[in-house]
């Protein structure tokens, strides 16, 4: 059996991994939420690994993801998103474990006019983005056996996310304004979970940094319209600009990720975002 530690066990990505675990019968999953394992405390991480005796892989789903709150909670964001991954990487070195870590499109400033590739120079414009970039850098400094997956606009039937927020708002409103000038690609968390588990299942050693999202390009406005269309929700959606909907944290206006590397090296099949959304809404 291959022992796989999943941190951030109560989050949406870890919940999606849990949904898929029956398909990976020779993987033994160990789930740990923040109350069981504080990744910000290196001694606690070390003790946890020792207690388990054998951890072959660690999938780090623990993250500070409150993008706007991070602007006022900078220390907390960097502790969880930068120091946490560093601690996991240090302990993974000691136990010869492979770390799979999830990062974000928010490491980029959004000034590009073409999809971002892995070697494009990051330039985060928010505390959240900066903290996630520091986490990437910490892992690369410490560990050789790692996979970092940058993803974008993550949603699923679990946790809090854009899809569920839209459906909730539609219960009490007739009209809704949604930002139309931020461009990216939604990612169904269960598709990402499958990629992570397939890497482990195949004993893949093509370590490094990868971009992964569902296929296609859209705006938050068009994403919302498709959610309502596929769920047969009757609501009027109006396009608005970022200037009309100011938020504490700046968002990249264009954050499409180029998936060529993940397709070629990890043989990933990329599902179009509309198809994955249909699946997610069915499961919801």
Based on the residue annotation, tell me whether 146 is a catalytic residue of this protein. Answer: no
Conformation bin of residue 64: beta by default, left when phi > 0, alpha when psi is -120 to 50: beta
- Set 128, 188, 212, 221: catalytic member: 128
Maximum C-alpha span of the chain:
56
8 A C-beta contact, residue 193 and residue 224: no
Q: Where are the alpha helices (DSSP H) in the chain?
A: 12-20, 42-52, 74-78, 84-95, 127-142, 162-170, 189-201, 220-230, 260-266, 273-283
- Tokens of residue 56, six digits: 């072959």
Place of tokens 């050789």: 144
8 A C-beta contact, residue 176 and residue 237: yes
Conformation bin of residue 242: beta by default, left when phi > 0, alpha when psi is -120 to 50: alpha
3-state secondary structure 56-113: CEEEECCCCCCCCHHHCCHHHHHHHHHHHHHHHHHHHHHHCCEEEEEEEHHHCCCCCC
Give the number of other Cβ atoms within 10 Å of residue 53's Cβ.
8
For residues 186, 195, 22 and 52, what is the CA-based torsion angle, rounded to 10 degrees?
-110
Query: How many angstroms separate the CA atoms of 151 and 214, rounded?
Result: 9
Catalytic site positions: 128
């Amino acid at each position: 059996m291959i022992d796989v530690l999943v941190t951030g066990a109560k989050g949406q990505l870890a919940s999606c991994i849990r949904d898929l675990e029956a398909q990976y019968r020779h993987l033994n999953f160990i789930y740990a939420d923040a109350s069981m394992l504080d990744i910000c405390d290196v001694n606690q991480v070390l003790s946890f690994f020792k207690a388990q005796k054998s951890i072959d892989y660690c999938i780090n789903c623990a993250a500070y993801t409150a993008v706007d709150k991070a602007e006022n909670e900078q220390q907390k964001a960097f502790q969880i998103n930068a120091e946490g991954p560093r601690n996991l990487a240090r302990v993974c070195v000691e136990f010869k474990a492979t770390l799979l870590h999830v990062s974000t499109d928010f490491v980029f400033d959004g000034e590009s006019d073409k999809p971002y590739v892995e070697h494009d120079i990051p330039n985060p414009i928010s505390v959240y983005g900066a903290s996630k970039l520091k986490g990437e850098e910490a892992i690369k400094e410490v560990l050789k056996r790692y996979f970092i997956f940058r993803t974008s606009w993550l949603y699923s039937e679990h946790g809090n996310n854009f899809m569920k927020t839209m459906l909730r708002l539609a219960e009490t409103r007739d009209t809704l304004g949604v930002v139309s000038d931020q461009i990216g690609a939604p990612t169904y968390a269960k598709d990402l979970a499958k990629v992570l588990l397939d890497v482990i299942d195949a004993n893949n050693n093509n370590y490094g940094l990868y971009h992964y999202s569902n296929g296609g390009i859209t705006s938050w406005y068009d994403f919302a319209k498709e959610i309502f269309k596929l769920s047969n929700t009757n609501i009027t959606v109006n396009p608005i600009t970022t200037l009309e909907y100011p938020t504490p944290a700046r968002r990249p206006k264009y954050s499409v990720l180029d998936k060529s590397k993940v397709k070629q090296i990890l043989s990933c099949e990329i599902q179009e975002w509309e198809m994955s959304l249909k699946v997610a809404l069915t499961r919801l």
